[in-house]
Amino acid sequence: MKQIPSACPVRSDRPLSKAADIAYIRLGRENLESASEYYQDFGLDIVEKKEDRILFRGNSSDLPCWSLEKADRDFLIGLGIYLHSSEDFERLKTIPGAEFLQNGRINSIPCVTLFDPSGLPVDVMYVPEEKNKNPIDPTEELWNYPGESRRANLPRPCESRPSKINRLGHAVFLKQEFLKNASWYCDTFGMIPSDIQILPESKEPVIVFLRFDRGEILSDHHSIVIASGITDSLEHCAFELKDLDEVATGREWLLGKGYHSSWGIGRHLLGSQIFDYHRDPAGMLVEHYADGDKFDNSVPTGIHLINRKSLYQWGENMPKDFLDTKLSLQKLLELWKGIISGRRISIPILIELKKVAEISPRTWIKY
Ligand SMILES: [Fe+2]
């Protein structure tokens, strides 16, 4: 499908900044201890532990990428984004409503907090690239291929341990106002829509996979995803691992600890990641992935129809509860609040999206 529908988010000609990467996610958690135990089994390392906050990191950086904060409910508090341009940082400080924190939010890096159209706080930090990276583990895993035995006389070692997480890769946000929020991330941070998914009947766009524009330097296919939703919420977060073995090692460890897998192992279609999804003790989806697509800024936006099958090329059957299509009282209340506050929410789009999300991806799976 080549023609882009008119109401789709597009890359901005003159964005306010060109951001470089997702920095962190902040979550409120009622039970900090169970969440902390879970995320260590998931593969994150604790950087700092206080009574009301625990910070975690991956191996790629000493800076925290995951903040669990004591709260009276489980919810998304905010996210962080890195810039590699100090000029861009200074420009964002001047946006009306922006809040400047000299001592940073969850690290000591000065940050400016903006608010996306849903009201979500977005902390923006200027970090020179070289100061944000640990060296990549150079160990090469040896695979045997037909005609090329690279592991001659060597059995495959197998360790029992949590995954070694490289970094926070992406976060998927549901928003009541899809286009307004998606366009804000494009216009404010120069993000590029890598792929957009549209509904089969109305052809309305409902999901956009956004990547950072780093020119000729490769970026993840998506670092932020915006999807239409009944509520404004965090759908899942994903962490980058080295390879398939690392994904399977993490899965084995979590299953051995008594946690239940949500969906996996499989390979996505848009972004191509080999994925494995789990749920944390609060029920939030978290993903281990490897081998995701990397694009520079030359790749144009792709447009695709949305359905459950469009989420994967191969993999385990997708369980019915992987996509949360249930209508709770809380969700309906949020929807009503959104409507009376004047948000542009399309009920027909939400109904069509729910209908599409309830169709099983394989004929033999009866939902
Ligand atoms: Fe994902």
Instruction: Tell how far the Cα of 12 is from the centroid of ligand 1, in angstroms.
Output: 24
What pLDDT is stored for residue 365 in this prediction?
Answer: 82
The answer as to whether 146 is a domain residue is: no
d(CA 367, CA 364): 9
Instruction: Tell how far the Cα of 188 is from the centroid of ligand 1, in angstroms.
Output: 23
Instruction: Tell how far the Cα of 90 is from the centroid of ligand 1, in angstroms.
Output: 31
Instruction: Tell how far the Cα of 168 is from the centroid of ligand 1, in angstroms.
Output: 11
The answer as to whether 62 is a domain residue is: yes
Distance set, CA 180 to CA 8, 252, 261 (Å): 10, 41, 34
The answer as to whether 159 is a domain residue is: no
Tokens representing 71 are 């709260």
Mean pLDDT in order along the chain per 10 residues (367 residues):
68 96 98 97 98 97 96 98 97 96 94 98 92 77 91 88 97 97 98 97 96 97 97 98 96 96 96 98 97 98 93 94 91 95 94 93 84
What pLDDT is stored for residue 188 in this prediction?
Answer: 98
Query: In sequence order, which residues have a C-beta less than 8 Å from that of residue 157 and are 6 or more positions away?
Result: none
Q: Is 344 helix (H, G, I), strand (E, B) or coil?
A: coil
What pLDDT is stored for residue 129 in this prediction?
Answer: 81
The answer as to whether 91 is a domain residue is: yes
User: Over the stretch 257-295, which tens digit does the pLDDT of each residue have?
Assistant: 999 899 999 999 999 999 999 999 999 999 999 999 999
Residues in the chain: 367
The answer as to whether 304 is a domain residue is: yes
d(CA 162, CA 67): 19
The answer as to whether 5 is a domain residue is: no
Domain tally, the chain: 1
Instruction: Tell how far the Cα of 16 is from the centroid of ligand 1, in angstroms.
Output: 27
Instruction: Tell how far the Cα of 171 is from the centroid of ligand 1, in angstroms.
Output: 7
What is the pairing mode between strands 19-29 and 75-83?
A: antiparallel
Structural domain range at position 307: 19-129+164-357
User: Over the stretch 68-84, which tens digit does the pLDDT of each residue have?
Assistant: 999 999 999 999 999 99
CATH of the domain at 172: 3.10.180.10
The answer as to whether 100 is a domain residue is: yes
The answer as to whether 134 is a domain residue is: no
